[in-house]
Chains A and B, each alone.
Chain A
Amino acid sequence: MTDDLTASCPIPLNDYPQVLLAHGGGGRLMDQLIAKMFAPAFANPLLAQRHDGALIDLNWRRLAFTTDSYVVRPLFFPGGDIGKLAINGTVNDLAMCGARPLYLSASFIIEEGLSMETLWRVVQSMKRAAEDAGIQVVTGDTKVVDKGKGDRLFINTAGIGRVDYERAISPAEVRPTDAVLLSGDIGRHGMAIMSVREGLQFESSIESDCAPLTDLVQSLLEEGIEIHCLRDLTRGGLASALNEIAQCAGRQIDIDQKAVPVREEVQGACEILGLDPLYVANEGRFVAFVRASDADRAIKTMRSRALGEEAAQIGVVTAGSPGLVTLKSQIGARRILDLLSGEQLPRIC
C-alpha cells in the first residue's frame, strides 16, 4: 500500500523529492501541491468549490466552514501578533463566503520553553480580536512539543459561519464585464513583518492591516450589491488571488496598476528590497467581483466604512483568455500578471 502511494506520488519526485518553503509560499508550487496531491486525495463537491471556505447546505441552513494555521515569525509585529492573526484570518475566510462568523476552534502547538507571559499576551490578543469580530472560541486543543521541534508557537483555528445571502459567492459565478473592486491599499502586512524580521530590521512606521472584514462584506450584502466572488488577499498578495480566481472562473481579468492603492512607505520599502507590492501579503484586504452596474454603489458603501476608505475599482473581467490576468503598467503597456513560483526573494542589486 505504502509502495503504491510512493510510486504514484503526483508531485514529480525527481524535481521535488522534498517539501520546500516555496510549497507554502502561495505561488505556483503551492498551487501544484494542492491541485495534484490534496485536491484529488480528498476529492468531493464541497472541496471542488476551491473557495476560502466550504459552503455546506444543511437544507434548513447554509453554513460556511474553514480552517487555517498560523506560523508567523516574529510572533509580535507592528499592528498585530499571531493571536490577532489567528482570529482575523479565519474570520475573514468565512467573511469571503458571505458568512457571518459564529464559532471558532483554537489549537495551540507550543514549543517547550515558550515564556508563559508570551502565551498570555497572545491569548489576550485573541480574546480582544474575537470580541471585535463578534465571534466565540468554543473549542480547542493544546499540544506541547520538545524544544527545537517547533518554532515557539503555532496556532490553528477553524470556524463556522451562517450564510444568509441567497446567491452563491464563488469563482464560478464570475462573469465577463464584472467589476473588480479592491477594499484598500495593499502590502502593509507583509512589509510590517519584514521590517521586524531578524536580519532585516528597517525603520518604518508601517503597521499590519490585520482586521476583521465581516462588517465591510455584510454592508455590501445589506446594500443589495450583487456579489459574484470575494477573496481576501493573504499570502501571495493581490496578484496570486486574482490568478486563482481567473483560473477557477475560466475568465480573463484585466487590472490597471495605477488604480491599485499602495502607501508611499510600503512602496519605498518594496523598491529598496526589490519586491513587488502586488505579491506582498495582506491580512485585512479583499477583492470583490460585483455586477458592473453595482460597482459605483459598492465603492460608495465601502468608502463609508473605516476599513474601506480607499476602496477602488481596479479592473474588469473579460471573456478573453481563460485563466489570464493582465496588468496595464503605469506607462500604459499591458503585460501578464503571473503567479510567482514561490515566495519573493529580495534581489542582489
Chain B
Amino acid sequence: MKYIDEYRDKDSAERFASAIARLTTRPWTIMEVCGGQTHAIVKFGIDELLPKEITLVHGPGCPVCVTPLELIDKAIEIAFRPGVIFCSFGDMLRVPGSETELLAVKANGGDVRIVYSPLDAVKIARENPSREVVFFAVGFETTAPANAMAVFQADQQELHNFSLLVSHVLVPPAMEAILASPRNCVQGFLAAGHVCTVMGFTEYGPIAEKYRVPIVVTGFEPLDILQGVYMCVQQLEQGRAEVENQYTRSVLREGNQVAQRLIREVFRVIPRKWRGVGEIPCSGFALSEKYADFDAERRFGVADYTAEESGECISGLILQGVKKPHECPAFGTLCTPEQPLGATMVSSEGACAAYYQYRRDKL
C-alpha cells in the first residue's frame, strides 16, 4: 500500500540500521517523544536493529497516560449525572480513575459513547437538545484544532447543551521539564511528527540551543524512525545540537497556521498537571474567557477535585525516560492490562502496554 509498504521495507530498514552502526562511535541515549513512535518501535522491533550503543527511551507523548487522575475522576462524575451524554475517544474508557473507569460507568447505565471526532459530539448535542453533551477533550497539540473547532461550531450554532472537559497538554514544556531534571539522561530527541504538523517546529530551536540537544522532527513508520535516529546520531557524533525535520512529507517549519489561529481563538495556555509527573508551567490549554461557557468543569461544578496517585505505579519515571517498563517491580505481576496500576499499561500508546503486548517473552 502506497505510503505504508515503502516505509516498512525490510531491506531499506537494514540499510539504515547498518548506516547508523557505521556512524556510531559511543553510547547515546535518544528519547522518542510520542507514544505512537514508542509503539511502532516495539511493535516492529526497530530498536532490535540498532547497534547496542544506541538506547531509545520512551517519552511522555501519550495523551491518555499523562491525563491526571482527578480529570478521569471528573469525567466519571460527570458521566454518572442523569441526562448527560458523555463522549470520548475510545482510548480513555479503560483508564482507571481513583475508584472506577468510564467503561464501568457505561456498564452501570451511564450514557458513555465512543466518538471518532469531537464534531460527532457536536452533532449528538444538536440532535439531543434536552440532554447535556460533554466531550472529553484529551490530547496534545495534534487534537487541539479539532477540539477547538468543536467549540467554535457549537458557539456558532448556539448549542448551549454542549461542553468540553479539557485536558490538553503541550509537548515543548514537557521536553524542557525532562531536560531540566537532575535525573535527565536524554541526549537527543525524536520530536513528535504530528504535533509538529500542527505547530511547526520553531518552538524547539531555543530548547535545542539552551540544553545543547539535537531535536529531529520524526514520523511514525519504521523507516521514518530509523532515519530520525540516523539524523540524531549524526548530530550527536558531530557535536551539533540543531532542530532538523525528518518528516518533511507532513511537517512545515511554520506548521498549519489556520489550525494555530483556531487554537489561539478558543484556548489559552495555562499550567497543567501531568499524571505521574506533576505540574509543569505553561504546559496545557484551557478554554479562553470568550468560550468559558463551554467549560464542563464550570458547568458541572467539578473544578476543584484532587486525587492521589497510587504509590506503586512508577509511570511518572517511565514517561520521563528515567526507567523502562520492565524495570518496574509491578510490571506483568501486580500491573497488567486487565488490572492496570497506571495509564501507561492501558493506553494503546502507553510504553508499559507496548512492552507487555509485544515483548513480554523477552523480559
* A residues in contact (CB < 8 Å) with B: 15, 18-22, 28-29, 32, 199-200, 264, 267-268, 271, 273-274, 321, 324, 326, 329-336, 338, 341-342, 345-349
* Cβ < 8 Å to A, chain B residues 346-363: 348-349, 356-361
> Which residues in B have their C-beta under 8 angstroms from that of A15?
338-339
Q: A15-B339, A29-B338, A347-B90 are known; give 9 further A-B pairs, CB within 8 A.
A: A199-B113, A324-B361, A329-B43, A330-B44, A331-B45, A338-B358, A341-B94, A346-B90, A349-B140
Q: Is the CB of A345 within 8 A of B90?
A: yes
In the complex, per-residue mask of B323-363: 1 if CB is within 8 Å of any chain A CB, else 0: 00000000000000111000000001100000011111100
| A-B CB contact pairs (8 Å), 26 listed | A15-B338, A15-B339, A18-B107, A21-B107, A199-B114, A199-B120, A274-B348, A330-B10, A330-B222, A331-B13, A332-B14, A332-B49, A336-B357, A336-B359, A336-B360, A336-B361, A338-B360, A342-B94, A345-B114, A346-B89, A347-B36, A347-B348, A348-B63, A349-B36, A349-B143, A349-B194
- Chain B residue with Cβ nearest A330: B8
Q: Is the CB of B91 within 8 A of A348?
A: yes
Nearest-Cβ distance from residue A190 to partner chain B, whole angstroms? 15
Q: Are A199 and B116 in contact (CB under 8 A)?
A: yes
B residues near A22, Cβ cutoff 8 Å: 103
Interface pair A348/B139, CB less than 8 Å apart: yes
Contact between A329 and B45, CB atoms less than 8 A apart: yes
The smallest C-beta distance from A339 to any residue of chain B, in angstroms, reads 9
Residue of B nearest to A337 (CB): B358
A184: min CB distance to chain B, Å: 18
Check A338/B143 contact, CB under 8 A, given A19-B107, A20-B107, A331-B222. Answer: no
Assuming the contacts A18-B107, A329-B45, asked whether A349 and B359 have C-beta atoms less than 8 A apart, the reply is no
* A271 surroundings in chain B (CB, below 8 A): 4
Tell me the interface secondary structure of chain A in the complex.
loop
B4 touching A18, Cβ below 8 Å: no
Write out the residue numbers on chain B whose beta carbons fall within 8 Å of the beta carbon of A200.
116
Chain B interface size, as a band, is 35 or more
Contact A349 B142 (CB under 8 A): yes
What is the CB-to-nearest-CB distance from B209 to chain A, in angstroms, rounded to a whole number? 28
Residue on B nearest A194 in the bound complex, by CB: B116
B292 within 8 A of A: no
Q: Does B296 contact A (CB under 8 A)?
A: no
B115 in contact (CB, < 8 A) = yes
Q: Which B residues, 101 to 131, have Cβ-Cβ distances below 8 Å to chain A?
A: 103-104, 106-108, 113-116, 120
B115 to chain A, nearest CB (A): 6
Which residues of A are found within 8 Å of B138, using beta-carbon distances? 348
Complex: how many Å from CA A302 to CA B348? Answer: 36
B181 to chain A, nearest CB (A): 26
- Nearest CB of A to B87, in Å: 9
- Asked whether B159 is an interface residue with its Cβ less than 8 Å from the other chain, the reply is no
* Alpha-carbon distance between A331 and B337 when the two chains are bound, in angstroms: 27
Q: Are B13 and A20 in contact (CB under 8 A)?
A: no
**Which residues of B are at the interface with A, using a C-beta cutoff of 8 A?**
1, 4-5, 8-10, 13-14, 36, 42-46, 48-49, 63-64, 89-94, 103-104, 106-108, 113-116, 120, 138-140, 142-143, 194, 222, 337-339, 348-349, 356-361
A324 CA to B362 CA, complexed, in Å: 12
Known: A15-B338, A341-B338. A331 touches B10 (CB 8 A): yes
Whether A28 and B115, one on each chain, are in contact in the complex, defined by CB atoms closer than 8 angstroms, is: no
The 5 A-B pairs with the shortest beta carbon distances in the complex, nearest first, are A333-B45, A345-B90, A330-B8, A331-B13, A349-B142
B90 to chain A minimum Cβ distance, whole angstroms, is: 3
Name the distance in Å between B252's Cβ and chain A's nearest Cβ: 18
* A333-B107 in contact (CB<8A): no
The CA of A128 and the CA of B8, in the complex, are separated in Å by 43
A18-B107, A331-B8 known; A341+B337 contact, CB < 8 A: yes
Q: Is the CB of A20 within 8 A of B63?
A: no
User: Contact at B44–A329, with CB atoms within 8 Å?
Assistant: yes
Q: Are A345 and B104 in contact (CB under 8 A)?
A: no
The CA-CA distance from A331 to B103 in the complex, in Å, is 36
Name the residue on A nearest B338 (C-beta): A341
Point out the residue from B14, B194, B348, B361 that lies within 8 Å of A321, measured CB to CB.
B361
Q: Is the CB–CB distance between B358 and A336 below 8 Å?
A: yes
Contacts of B142 in A (CB 8 A): 349
* Cα A331 to Cα B4 with chains together (Å): 12
Shortest beta-carbon distance from B359 to chain A in Å: 6
How many angstroms from the CA of A332 to the CA of B64 in the assembled complex? 30
Known contacts A330-B44, A331-B10, A331-B46, A199 near B115 by CB under 8 Å? yes
Q: Which residues of B contact A331 (CB under 8 A)?
A: 8-10, 13-14, 44-46, 49, 222
Given contacts A345-B348, A346-B114, A347-B90, contact A18 B44 (CB under 8 A): no
Contact B108–A18 (Cβ < 8 Å): yes
Q: Which residues of A are found within 8 Å of B92, using beta-carbon distances?
A: 348
Instruction: Give Cα A22–Cα B358 distance, bound, in whole angstroms.
Output: 20
In the complex, A121 Cα to B17 Cα: how many Å? 57
How far in angstroms is the closest Cβ of chain B from A324?
A: 6
| Residue numbers in A under 8 Å from B143 (CB-CB) | 348-349
- Residue numbers in A under 8 Å from B9 (CB-CB): 330-331
A334–B44 CA distance with the chains assembled, in angstroms: 8
Query: Which of chain B's residues have a CB closer than 8 A to the CB of A268?
Result: 1
A-side contacts of B46, CB under 8 Å: 331, 333
